[in-house]
Amino acid sequence: MPTPPSQLDIATDLLTLLDATTTEPRPDTQLEALTLAVAADLPVLLWGEPGIGKTAALTQLAAALNLPLTTVIASVHEPSDFSGLPVVGDDPAAQGVPMAPPDWAVRLERAGRGLLFLDELSTAPPAVQAALLRLVLERRIGSLKLPPGVRIVAAANPRSSAADGWELSPPLANRFVHLQWTHDHDVVVRGLGGTWPRATLPALNPARLTAAVDRARRAVCGFLTARPPLVHRLPSGETRRGGAWPSPRSWEMTLRLIAFATAAGSSRDVLSLLVRGTVGDGPGLELLASLDRLDLPDPELLLADPAHAVLPERGDLRQAALDAVVDAVRGRPERARWDAAWALLVRAMETGAPDVLVVPATTLASLRQADWDVPASIDRLAGAVSVTRQADRAAARAAVATKARR
C-alpha cells in the first residue's frame, strides 16, 4: 500500500498552488519607468513604505527579463564586503595584497549577466554607504569588475519608517535614479487574484536612435545654457540631499533617459518620473516644460500650409503653438500671413477645444492694418470665441458669489 502523504506534504502542495501566478500586459507607469532605467543601464533606487511591494516587483522583474537575481542586504554587510577583502599572496612585497571580492560578486561575474538587488539601503550606516560608491558607479568590487550585463537596482524605506534608518549620503544618492514606489489598488487586487502586470524591456525603434540622441542633447544642453545655476545645485537640507538633485553626473543620466524614452516612444508621464527622479522635482519640471517647447511645430511651417497643419493634441501645447504663430505674424506683418493665421485658427477650432483660441484670435485681430479686408473665416470663429468668453465670465461670477457666501 502506498504511504499516505503527510500533512507537511499537503501543506507544500497548497503553498505551490498559492505561489502559482501569471502575468498580463497592463499599462503601469512606474513599472515602465523602472524597466526603461534598467535598459539604460542606470542604477535605480526604489523608495517606498515597508510592505509596498518593492522586493516583489524586483523578483518579478528579474523573472520576466530572465535575469538571475542576486539580493544583497546592505545593512548586514561590512564595508570590506563591498570594497574587497585583503588576501595575502605568495609575495606581497612584489605583487601587493589583492582585494578579493565576495562570493556573490564572483557568481555574477561568471554568469555575465544578472540583476543585483541592494535591499534596505537606507539602513546601511555611513561607512557601508561609502564602500558602495564604487560598486554603484564603476561596478567594481575589490579587483573585480562586474560585466556589462549586470544591472543594479536598490530599494529603501524613508528614514521615518526604516529600521534604525540613515539618510543617504549625497555622493551615493547622486548616483541613482530615484523612483517613488507606490501601490495601485487595482494592480494589488488583481495580483492577489493571481495575475500581475508583466514587466518587459522597452521596444527601442532602430530608426529613431540618431534622432533620439540629437533630441536629448538639444534638450539638456539648451536648458542648461538658459539655466546655468542648475548645472550643479546641492540641496541645503539633509533629507533632500539624500534624494535626486542636479549635478553634471545626474544631467548625464537625464540625457540618457530622454534618449531612451524617445527611442522607445514612452509617454510623458514615464519620462516625468525618470527626469524628476534624476535631477529633482524643480529642475525636472522646468526641463520637461523646455522639452515641450522644443517639440512645438515651426510657426513658419504652419503658416505655409494651414489647411494641412498638424497641431499638438494637448491644450497647453496647442495654445503655445498658436501664440507662436501670432508672434510670427507680428514680427513680419503681411496680408497673406495674416490670412493664413486665421485659416490656422479655424483648423484649430475644427480639431480641438475652442477655448485655446480666445487669446490668439484677439491678438491676431489687433494686428489688422487699415487696408486689409476682414477674412470670411472670422465669422466661423466668432461664435466659439463668444461662447468661451461668456463661459469664462459666468465662471468668474460664480466664483465671486461663492466667495461672498463664505
Q: What share of the chain is helix, strand, coil (3-state, %, to 5)?
A: 60, 10, 30
Which range scores top for mean pLDDT: 261-275, 312-326, 367-381? 261-275
Residue 87 above 80 pLDDT? no
Which range scores top for mean pLDDT: 212-221, 286-295, 366-375, 390-399? 212-221
Per-residue model confidence (pLDDT) at position 390: 43
Q: What residue type is 179 in one-letter code? A: L
CA distances from 6 to 2, 3, 15, 286, 397 (A): 12, 9, 14, 64, 77
Distance (Å, whole) CA 73 – CA 380: 67
Residue 396 above 60 pLDDT? no
Dump pLDDT digits (tens) for 59-68: 888 888 889 9
Which residue has 606581497 as its cell numbers? 92
Q: Which three cell numbers stand for residue 346?
A: 479655424
Dump pLDDT digits (tens) for 184-243: 888 889 888 988 888 888 899 999 999 999 999 999 999 999 899 999 999 988 888 999
Per-residue model confidence (pLDDT) at position 11: 95
End-to-end CA distance of the chain: 84
Dump pLDDT digits (tens) for 18-50: 988 888 888 889 999 999 999 999 999 999 888
CB under 8 A, 24+ apart: contacts of 317-321: 317/292, 318/348, 318/352, 318/356, 319/356, 319/359, 319/360, 320/292, 320/293, 320/296, 321/296, 321/297
For the question of whether the overall pTM of this predicted structure is more than 0.85, the answer is no
Question: 126: how many CB neighbours lie within 10 A of its CB?
Answer: 13
